[in-house]
Structure 1
Amino acid sequence: MSPRVGPQGPTRPTRPTPTLAFVESPVQLLNVLEWAHGSGRTPGAPAGDRPPDVTVVVLSPGDPMTRGQLRRMAELARDEGHRVRWEEARGGSTAPLRTVRGLTPLLREANRVVIGDPFSRYVQLLLTLTRAPELVVVDDGTATMEFTAQLAGGERLVRWHRRGGRPGPRDLLFAPVSGAARRRLTPTGDRAVEVFSAMPIATVPEGVRITANDFSWTRSRFGPPRISAGADLVGTSLVETGVVDPDRYLDAVRALARAHGATRYFAHRRESPEKLHRLATSTGLEVCRPDLPLELIARRGPIGRTVLSFPSTVVHTLPLALAGTGARVAVCDIEPDWLTERASPRAHGFLSGVTGTARDVHRLRSVCAG
Structure 2
Amino acid sequence: MSPRAGNAGLRTLAFVESPVQLLNVLEWAHTRAPGTGLTLVVLSPVDPMTRGQLRRMAELARKEGHEVRWEEARGGVLAPFRTIGGLTGALRRADRIVMGDPFSRYVQLLLTITRARDLVVVDDGTATMEFVTQLARGERLVRWHRKGSRPGPRDLLFAPVSSSARRTLTPAGDRRVEIFSAMPIEETPEGVTVTAHHFTWTRDRFGPPRITQGADMVGTSLVETGVVDADRYLDAVRTLARTHGATRYFAHRRESAEKLHRLAVETGLEVVRPDLPLELIARRGPVGRTILSFPSTVVHTLPLALSGTKVKIAVCDIDPAWLTQHASPRARGFLSGVTGSARDVHRLSAVTSAG
Q: TM-score, normalised by structure 2?
A: 0.96
Partner of 2:47: 63
Partner of 2:193: 209
Unaligned runs of 5+ in 1: 1-13, 42-49
2:223 aligned to 239, 243, 249, which one?
239
Partner of 2:140: 156
Q: Does residue 272 of structure 1 match 2:256?
A: yes
Contact between 2:36 and 2:65, CA under 8 Å: does it hold in 1?
Answer: no
Contact between 2:15 and 2:107, CA under 8 Å: does it hold in 1?
Answer: yes
Question: Aligned to 2:38, what secondary structure does the other structure show?
Answer: strand
Residue identity in the other structure for 2:194: I
Q: Does residue 331 of structure 1 match 2:315?
A: yes
Question: Aligned to 2:258, what secondary structure does the other structure show?
Answer: helix
Equivalent residues in 2 for 1:184-223 (5 A)? Answer: 184-223=168-207
Contact between 1:89 and 1:95, CA under 8 Å: does it hold in 2?
Answer: yes
Q: Does residue 249 of structure 1 match 2:233?
A: yes
Equivalent residues in 2 for 1:63-82 (5 A)? Answer: 63-82=47-66
Residue identity in the other structure for 2:235: D
Question: What is the aligned-residue identity percentage?
Answer: 78
Partner of 1:297: 281
Q: Does residue 119 of structure 1 match 2:103?
A: yes
Q: Distance in 2 between matches of 1:52 and 1:236?
A: 35
Question: Aligned to 1:305, what secondary structure does the other structure show?
Answer: strand
Q: Distance in 1 between matches of 2:159 and 2:142?
A: 11
Deviations 1:197-236 (A, max 9, x none): 0000111000000000000000000000000000000000
Q: Distance in 2 between matches of 1:333 and 1:52?
A: 42
Deviations 1:296-316 (A, max 9, x none): 000000000000000000000
How far did residue 52 of structure 1 move?
Answer: 4.0
Q: Distance in 2 between matches of 1:277 and 1:197?
A: 34
How far did residue 136 of structure 1 move?
Answer: 0.1
How far did residue 15 of structure 1 move?
Answer: 6.7
Deviations 1:160-183 (A, max 9, x none): 000111111111111111100110
Contact between 1:18 and 1:53, CA under 8 Å: does it hold in 2?
Answer: no
Residue identity in the other structure for 1:297: I
Q: Does residue 26 of structure 1 match 2:19?
A: yes
Question: Aligned to 1:53, what secondary structure does the other structure show?
Answer: coil
Q: Alpha carbons of 1:162 and 1:245: their partners in 2 closer, same or farther (altered >3 Å)? A: same
Q: Distance in 1 between matches of 2:41 and 2:350?
A: 43
Contact between 1:235 and 1:267, CA under 8 Å: does it hold in 2?
Answer: yes
Contact between 2:318 and 2:350, CA under 8 Å: does it hold in 1?
Answer: no
Partner of 1:37: 30
Partner of 1:7: none
Q: Distance in 1 between matches of 2:9 and 2:179?
A: 20
How far did residue 189 of structure 1 move?
Answer: 1.6
Partner of 1:10: none
Partner of 2:336: 352
Question: Aligned to 1:228, what secondary structure does the other structure show?
Answer: strand
Unaligned runs of 5+ in 2: 1-6
Q: Distance in 1 between matches of 2:274 and 2:285?
A: 12
Q: TM-score, normalised by structure 1?
A: 0.92
Partner of 2:119: 135
Q: Aligned residue pairs: how many?
A: 347
How far did residue 120 of structure 1 move?
Answer: 0.2
Question: Aligned to 1:118, what secondary structure does the other structure show?
Answer: coil
Partner of 1:226: 210
Q: Alpha carbons of 1:15 and 1:28: their partners in 2 closer, same or farther (altered >3 Å)? A: closer
Contact between 1:17 and 1:53, CA under 8 Å: does it hold in 2?
Answer: no
Contact between 1:16 and 1:51, CA under 8 Å: does it hold in 2?
Answer: no
Residue identity in the other structure for 1:349: G
Q: Distance in 1 between matches of 2:173 and 2:8?
A: 24
Q: Distance in 1 between matches of 2:241 and 2:199?
A: 28
How far did residue 17 of structure 1 move?
Answer: 1.4
Partner of 1:259: 243
Contact between 1:315 and 1:355, CA under 8 Å: does it hold in 2?
Answer: yes
Contact between 1:55 and 1:83, CA under 8 Å: does it hold in 2?
Answer: yes
Q: Does residue 17 of structure 1 match 2:1?
A: no
Contact between 1:295 and 1:318, CA under 8 Å: does it hold in 2?
Answer: yes
Question: Aligned to 2:264, what secondary structure does the other structure show?
Answer: helix
Contact between 1:187 and 1:207, CA under 8 Å: does it hold in 2?
Answer: yes
